[in-house]
């Protein structure tokens, strides 16, 4: 699943192509995504100009002069910038055709993504209104985590993956942040000390920034649609490394299941 760094990488790649462009038309080839693409998207988006491309958690926002497109990549979705006359491929469900001859094309093999329209403040949309602070912005720090963790019995990993606690921290980066902070993923959030919360907040920020700087764990050339391996995937300390030596102490990395997700950790380094 695309995580926050991949979504931020997507935002940075598509923004220069779509910002300031007028939407000529919207082509919907398959409306049945996680939620059906609403008719408002095809009725109201043409004629609008995209003023900015923003991110909130794992959601992308195409802010227009009037109204906003809310996009989510789901489990397997991705966006490409292609010439408007490029023949669609399998799973190319949506085209936003822009002035200047390019299209923003949404491909989603598993159809768990979203493409929605709102005339109102998108931050008040039900999908966004309950999100916690952005991990890369002011408002997210150790004090925030410590305050929200009191009396919580949920495991530390599930705690930081809760989008109401902090927006956009997915499985890969939760594993990596907990390793950096030296915190066992199964430790109850309510047992985290203030210094541990400080370490964890810093670790979340550091691992996300490092991944964004290297293009996420999977990057794409959005102007050509060519998928390439992400460089950060080569530098993961624990995720996907079950049985391999811990980069800090040499003990074998352990694997477990938490909340239906694979969890990776070092018994020696994480307490």
The catalytic site residues sit at 2-3, 58, 261
For 120-146, give the DSSP string: S-GGGSHHHHT----TTSTT-SHHHHH
Alpha-carbon span 89 to 67, nearest angstrom? 29
Alpha-carbon span 134 to 7, nearest angstrom? 13
The closest of 79, 95, 89 to 8, measured between CA atoms, is 79
The closest of 221, 219, 222, 241 to 231, measured between CA atoms, is 219
- Return the DSSP state at 155: B
Alpha-carbon span 98 to 17, nearest angstrom? 9
Alpha-carbon span 102 to 59, nearest angstrom? 22
User: Given its phi and psi angles, is residue 7 left (phi above 0), alpha (psi -120 to 50 degrees) or beta?
Assistant: alpha
Q: Which helix (H) or strand (E) holds 105?
A: strand 102-107
SS (H, E, C) 177-214: HHHHHCCCCCCEHHHCCHHHHHHHHHHHHHHHHHHHHC
């Amino acid at each position: 699943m695309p995580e926050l760094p991949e979504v931020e990488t997507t935002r940075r790649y598509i923004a220069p192509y779509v910002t300031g462009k007028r939407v000529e038309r919207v082509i919907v080839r398959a409306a049945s995504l996680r939620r059906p693409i609403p008719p408002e998207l095809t009725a109201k988006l043409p004629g609008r100009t995209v003023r900015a491309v923003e991110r909130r958690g794992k959601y992308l926002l195409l802010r227009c002069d009037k109204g906003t497109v809310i996009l989510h990549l789901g489990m397997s979705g991705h966006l490409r910038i292609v010439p408007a006359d490029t023949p669609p491929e399998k799973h190319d469900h949506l085209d936003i055709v822009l002035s200047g001859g390019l299209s923003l094309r949404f491909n989603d093999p598993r159809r768990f993504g979203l493409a929605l329209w709102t005339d109102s403040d998108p931050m008040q949309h039900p999908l966004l209104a309950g999100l916690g602070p952005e991990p890369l912005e002011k408002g997210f720090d150790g004090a925030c985590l410590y305050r929200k963790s009191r009396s919580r019995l949920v495991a530390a990993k599930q705690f930081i993956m809760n989008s109401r606690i902090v927006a956009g921290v997915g499985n890969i980066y939760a594993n990596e942040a907990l390793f950096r902070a030296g915190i066992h993923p199964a430790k109850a959030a309510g047992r985290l000390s203030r210094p541990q919360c400080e370490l964890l907040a810093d670790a979340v920020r550091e691992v996300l920034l490092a991944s964004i700087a290297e293009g996420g764990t999977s990057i794409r050339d959005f102007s050509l649609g060519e998928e390439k391996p992400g460089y950060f995937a080569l530098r993961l300390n624990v995720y996907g490394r079950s049985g391999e030596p811990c980069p800090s102490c040499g003990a074998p990395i352990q694997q477990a299941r938490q909340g239906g997700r694979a969890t990776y950790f070092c018994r020696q380094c994480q307490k």
